Amino acid sequence: MMTKAGEQQAPTRDEDPPRLTEAQREAFKENAAALGEAEERLRAAQRKASARLTEAGISRGADDVFETCLTCGCQGYVATPHRPAADCRREHCGHSLACHRW
């Protein structure tokens, strides 16, 4: 997009990426819908897992960013440098970041 002075303006978040075909736009639209559904299922599973642990006497800390692993109980996610979404580096854990976020 060009401005009055002839400078290039970055597209806003609501605009389509430039030069996509209709098939590409449709593919992105379908991907967004499918991934949105998967994220909602993941959030529901996390809520159920958290409730199950709470019933068993394990509760989360109010100000922790990464919580106890929902799968094995390790006390905190250990990140891989330069790969923030990699699996937990704890030797006995190895579960995904999603397993640590409540």
Q: What percent of the chain has pLDDT over 90?
A: 36
The position carrying tokens 């996390």 is 46
In a domain, 5, yes or no: no
In a domain, 37, yes or no: yes
In a domain, 69, yes or no: yes
Question: What's the total number of domains in the chain?
Answer: 1
The position carrying tokens 């400078």 is 7
pTM of the full predicted structure? 0.68
In a domain, 16, yes or no: no
In a domain, 61, yes or no: yes
CA distance 16 to 63: 37
CA distance 16 to 24: 11
In a domain, 4, yes or no: no
In a domain, 36, yes or no: yes
pLDDT tens string for the chain (102 positions)? 444 555 555 555 566 567 889 999 999 999 999 999 999 999 999 899 989 988 998 877 666 555 788 999 888 889 888 887 889 999 899 999 889 876
The predicted-structure confidence for 28-38, as pLDDT tens digits, reads as follows: 999 999 999 99
In a domain, 46, yes or no: yes
